[in-house]
Structure 1
Amino acid sequence: MPRLIDSTQPPLKFIPPSFNLLVLQIFGWLLPIILRYRTRPWLPAGIINIEAKNTKVLAELYQQFQAGKIRFLIAFRHPEVEDPLCMLYLLSHIVPKVARQQNISLQHPVHSYFMYDRGMTVWAGNWLGWLFSQIGGVPVRRGRRLDRQAIQTARELFANGQLPIAVAPEGGTNGHSGIVSPLEPGVAQMGFWCVEDLHKANRPETVLIVPIAIQYRYIDPPWSKLDWLLSKLEADSGLPVQSSSQSAIPSREEIYHQRLCRLAEYLIAEMEEFYRRFYHQDIPKTISSDTTSDLDLIARLHQLLDKALQVAEQYFGLQSKGNFIDRCRRLEEAGWNYIYREDLSDINALPPFKRGLADWIAQEADLRMLHMRLVESFVAVTTNYIEQQSTAERFAETTLLIFDMLSRIKDTTLPGRPNLGWKKAKITVGEPISVTERWISSQVDKQAARQAVTDLTKDLQVALEKLIAD
């Protein structure tokens, strides 16, 4: 049984950024060690190498920024939780080194403000909120239609801060180095707001958005550890363990693909019956077959994800509108409103009866949100991700998503992922996109403004997808 919130909580207050250069320097010194041993210091896993491409572009942008010629926002891919650490390493270690090599003069520090999910401090602890505030973080409530304080703070920093600002336009991790999730429009909107703010202040700076891709590779393909992990998942699920070394299939990739599909089909069938029986969802029964295609499995998975979200949406009184990511964001905010009660001035002053009701609602809201957490892990899963490239990385990414799902159900809402081996990160800096050039055409009317945001978001999506395809 997962560990749940058992009582109502005070409101999640905004954590204002309080940039501290000393804290940033200390964190920068420790960063290589943190990247290597972030999770379990005694295991040979972590990121031991970060290589960057087109870094000179970023160094030149910082030089122009520091000269007062431009303002820019870094829009970086967010496949894994290590991404912010890699971005910090890029700015604090690689960019200054490249600048020195290219005789590009930069002032210290080379850093950026950044936006982060306020929910990170819920599961990690208050210390993380303190650390992020000291190194320039701005917390945002992802599910809120308008988190005014976060937006105003970020908007002010973008236009007037001493540093650029970094945002992950996907809004959260998707666990796939090779897939860019649909981008949220906030980054594009921030770009147009910045141009507007500069225009009102009669300032000449050009506003740019810089796409940056991050991808991960294992130093040595972790096939043996994948075998171990699949065996563990099979055992935890109740399936007979099928060791890859004992398979009659000659191709290693085919062996792992078969085991992964077998495990996925079994878990989908079990979860279909779970929602069919206990939540009264209308899910057609499917007869298992050895010839079940990946396409059939994905269709069943997407139907299952839809039903899981409907169970939570029905409880919170929400409509099933938008894609899976949109629906997850709305559910998260609805659950937080039931748990972190802004309508209660002092929860400790409540009479026992009302406090008991408040705790009851918080417990149930957290449990209902678990349906949404399960869906979050699989929003980027497609039919051909592994077929396109049958690499150890893609097998590992998909298997770890299944591990997350099982962990949330049997152990905890914060799964501690197993480390499969040392990794390297590849960071690719794309060509900056000018927002200033698009601003005049966006000022015709409200429809033109909305269309400009949509077009810029699409262009940024294409740019990020091209960077991971190169």
Structure 2
Amino acid sequence: MSNVIYQAQPPLEFIPPALNPLFLRVFDLVLPNWINWQTAITQIEADNVEVLVDLYRQFQEGKIRFMLAFRHPKTDDPLCLGYLLSQLVPRVAREQGTVLKSPIHAHFIYDRGIPLWAGSYVGWVASRLGGTPIQRGKADWTGLRSARDLFANGKFPMAAAPEGATNGLSEIISPLEPGIAQLGFWCAEDLHKAERSEQVLIVPVGIKYSYVAAPWDAIAELLSELEAASGLTVNPGGQANAASMELLYPRLLTLAEHLLSLMEKFYTKFYHQKLPDSQDISKGINDRNEALAVRLQALLNVALQISEQYFDLQPKGNLSDRCRRVEQAGWNYIFREDFKDVKGLSAVEKALGDRVAEEANARMWHMRLVESFVAVSGNYIREKPTVERFAETTLILWQMIAKIRSSKAFRRPQLGKQRVKITIGEPISISERYPVYKESRLGARQAVADLTNDLQQAMEGLIFRNL
């Protein structure tokens, strides 16, 4: 993460979308090679692409506006979506004899915080590709107005991840944020006011990763590294008989229990927090997985409370909601309205601001730890013991240890070559729901809630379709 986080700064500036057709063309040309070079992905295929071809045809004919609501388990997801639009959709359109105007692309919404940890160039690239940023933890009216305008008037359809952030798990969807549904109704409202006849749709898109060959040896080696880092007796990862689910799963459970014990001691001793006694939990719950789940939830709650207490926040909502509020509170301490004119500040004022920024960033660290585990349960592997679920869980533990050891951003280890399956779901009509939305405030809230729930079920259905 950039050192700028440790210093008080002026407020985060909005990065306006500035689509550059030439840059987009170059991006689309280099994307396949970039994916091969920078990721473990060797193959991307998609189901129901013909649905998307027809949607783009209708969009280009001025009949519809639509948003792609895609799953977001990994940071590679936007690259996969870009490949779908720039490579697979045109290919299927040619095979069908459907004439589409080039380029096939989508405006998209991204988290304004990404350029802070990934590098400012990411914001520049996203802007030139027609992306618009939003600050997730507050009512970012500038960002919302931009996304709203692009949805109703942009040259291309929209794309967004309704989960709001990655969760590292291909087969569990985090609770969806209602903002995507709200944008859909705003689009319908804007079209209605402008007396435009386009229908508004939201299209669920599933993204599923799988390994070309089961990377048990690589998982065993990574487990050995994590065991060494956490102070456990190291099991040799290179032994052939170690690379199996039967022998690796007890090691993973032992590692998870040990890390939990270390973190429980950390928060009880140095932050004076009360946590359930692990031995008492083990006595009451015989199943190791269930005991882990209970301990983990208690720990995550305490870790978030450390951040919330510092920022004077009440613990409302689920873990994801609480993380977003802590994040925004931290940004408010670091990117300050009263620091717009930094040159006008005295040396003492600047130093005090830096002290606050440093402390805010330190308190946000607890939230970042929780962020990695918002979708983790104790039964993910046991419910379906696949190498993919095992690898994802191991990588989440790796991410936890990486965050404990350093504040710098790390790239996750690549355990093996992967293939990606993208599934296009059936479009959900927002226009058909708009009459209920416009009836009253209560009707609007209910319409947004119902659409969010229906979208969640549709996206979960895409996962099960690929199982």
Q: In 2, Cα distance between the equivalents of 1:460 and 1:411?
A: 37
Q: In 2, Cα distance between the equivalents of 1:70 and 1:361?
A: 49
Q: In 1, Cα distance between the equivalents of 2:403 and 2:288?
A: 27
Structure 1 residues 12 and 3, CA gap change in structure 2 (3 angstroms):
closer
Contact 1:46 / 1:423 at 8 angstroms: preserved in 2? Answer: yes
Please state how far the C-alpha of 1:243 moved relative to its aligned partner.
Answer: 3.5
2:322 counterpart of 1:330 = no
Q: In 2, Cα distance between the equivalents of 1:322 and 1:278?
A: 26
CA RMSD of aligned residues (A): 1.9
Select which of 279, 283, 286 maps to 2:278: 286
Q: Over residues 146-204 of structure 1, what are the superposed CA-to-partner deviations in whole Å (9 max), with x where a residue is unaligned?
A: 11111101111111111100010000000000011100001111111111111111111
1:256 maps to: 248
2:184 counterpart of 1:177 = no
Structure 1 residues 89 and 324, CA gap change in structure 2 (3 angstroms):
same
Q: After alignment, is 213-222 or 412-421 more displaced?
A: 412-421
* SS at structure 2 position matched to 1:49: strand
Contact 2:6 / 2:358 at 8 angstroms: preserved in 1? Answer: yes
1:305 maps to: 300
Q: In 2, Cα distance between the equivalents of 1:314 and 1:138?
A: 32
Q: In 2, Cα distance between the equivalents of 1:298 and 1:210?
A: 34
Q: Over residues 312-360 of structure 1, what are the superposed CA-to-partner deviations in whole Å (9 max), with x where a residue is unaligned?
A: 0000000000000000000000001111112222223321111111000
1:41 maps to: none
2:366 counterpart of 1:364 = no
2:210 maps to: 217
Q: Report the AA paired with residue 225 of structure 1.
A: A
2:439 counterpart of 1:444 = yes
Please state how far the C-alpha of 1:124 moved relative to its aligned partner.
Answer: 1.4
Q: In 2, Cα distance between the equivalents of 1:438 and 1:2?
A: 44
2:456 maps to: 461
2:110 maps to: 116
Please state how far the C-alpha of 1:442 moved relative to its aligned partner.
Answer: 2.0
Please state how far the C-alpha of 1:257 moved relative to its aligned partner.
Answer: 1.4
Please state how far the C-alpha of 1:5 moved relative to its aligned partner.
Answer: 3.5
* SS at structure 2 position matched to 1:139: strand
Please state how far the C-alpha of 1:242 moved relative to its aligned partner.
Answer: 2.3
- Correspondences of 1:365-444 after superposition (within 5 Å): 365-444=360-439
Q: After alignment, is 287-296 or 343-352 more displaced?
A: 287-296
Contact 1:116 / 1:137 at 8 angstroms: preserved in 2? Answer: yes
Please state how far the C-alpha of 1:428 moved relative to its aligned partner.
Answer: 0.2
> Any stretches of 5+ residues in structure 2 without a counterpart?
none
Q: Report the AA paired with residue 234 of structure 2.
A: V
2:51 counterpart of 1:57 = yes
1:190 maps to: 183
Please state how far the C-alpha of 1:414 moved relative to its aligned partner.
Answer: 1.1
2:311 maps to: 316
2:126 counterpart of 1:128 = no
Q: In 2, Cα distance between the equivalents of 1:408 and 1:351?
A: 34
- Correspondences of 1:96-115 after superposition (within 5 Å): 96-115=90-109
Contact 2:276 / 2:295 at 8 angstroms: preserved in 1? Answer: no
Q: In 1, Cα distance between the equivalents of 2:202 and 2:331?
A: 32
Q: In 2, Cα distance between the equivalents of 1:236 and 1:334?
A: 32
2:257 maps to: 265
2:157 counterpart of 1:164 = yes
Please state how far the C-alpha of 1:2 moved relative to its aligned partner.
Answer: 11
Q: In 1, Cα distance between the equivalents of 2:215 and 2:430?
A: 43
Q: Report the AA paired with residue 350 of structure 2.
A: R
Contact 2:9 / 2:339 at 8 angstroms: preserved in 1? Answer: no
1:42 maps to: none
- Correspondences of 1:233-244 after superposition (within 5 Å): 233-243=226-236
2:10 maps to: 10
Q: Over residues 203-245 of structure 1, what are the superposed CA-to-partner deviations in whole Å (9 max), with x where a residue is unaligned?
A: 1111000000001011111110000000000000000012467
2:136 maps to: 142
Q: In 1, Cα distance between the equivalents of 2:72 and 2:241?
A: 38
1:88 maps to: 82
* SS at structure 2 position matched to 1:217: strand
> Any stretches of 5+ residues in structure 1 without a counterpart?
39-44
Q: In 1, Cα distance between the equivalents of 2:246 and 2:343?
A: 58
Q: In 2, Cα distance between the equivalents of 1:416 and 1:85?
A: 16
Q: In 2, Cα distance between the equivalents of 1:298 and 1:244?
A: 26
Q: In 2, Cα distance between the equivalents of 1:4 and 1:236?
A: 29
Please state how far the C-alpha of 1:6 moved relative to its aligned partner.
Answer: 2.9
Structure 1 or 2: larger helix share? 2
Please state how far the C-alpha of 1:285 moved relative to its aligned partner.
Answer: 2.3
Q: Which runs of 4+ in 1 moved over 2 A?
A: 1-6, 242-249, 287-292
Q: In 1, Cα distance between the equivalents of 2:28 and 2:166?
A: 23
Q: In 2, Cα distance between the equivalents of 1:75 and 1:2?
A: 30
* SS at structure 2 position matched to 1:52: strand
Q: Report the AA paired with residue 30 of structure 1.
A: V
Q: In 1, Cα distance between the equivalents of 2:442 and 2:296?
A: 37
Please state how far the C-alpha of 1:246 moved relative to its aligned partner.
Answer: 6.5
Q: Report the AA paired with residue 9 of structure 1.
A: Q
2:29 maps to: 29
Structure 1 residues 160 and 3, CA gap change in structure 2 (3 angstroms):
closer
2:335 counterpart of 1:340 = yes
Q: Over residues 380-403 of structure 1, what are the superposed CA-to-partner deviations in whole Å (9 max), with x where a residue is unaligned?
A: 111221112211111111111111
Q: Over residues 265-324 of structure 1, what are the superposed CA-to-partner deviations in whole Å (9 max), with x where a residue is unaligned?
A: 000011011000110101122239796520110110011000000000000000000000
Q: In 1, Cα distance between the equivalents of 2:7 and 2:255?
A: 36
Q: Over residues 397-448 of structure 1, what are the superposed CA-to-partner deviations in whole Å (9 max), with x where a residue is unaligned?
A: 1111111111111123412211112111110000000001111122221111
In the alignment of these two chains, the number of paired residues is 462
Contact 1:2 / 1:409 at 8 angstroms: preserved in 2? Answer: no
Contact 1:3 / 1:413 at 8 angstroms: preserved in 2? Answer: no
Structure 1 residues 405 and 4, CA gap change in structure 2 (3 angstroms):
farther
Q: In 1, Cα distance between the equivalents of 2:170 and 2:294?
A: 22
Q: In 2, Cα distance between the equivalents of 1:14 and 1:107?
A: 31
* SS at structure 1 position matched to 2:200: strand
Please state how far the C-alpha of 1:4 moved relative to its aligned partner.
Answer: 8.4
Structure 1 residues 247 and 311, CA gap change in structure 2 (3 angstroms):
farther
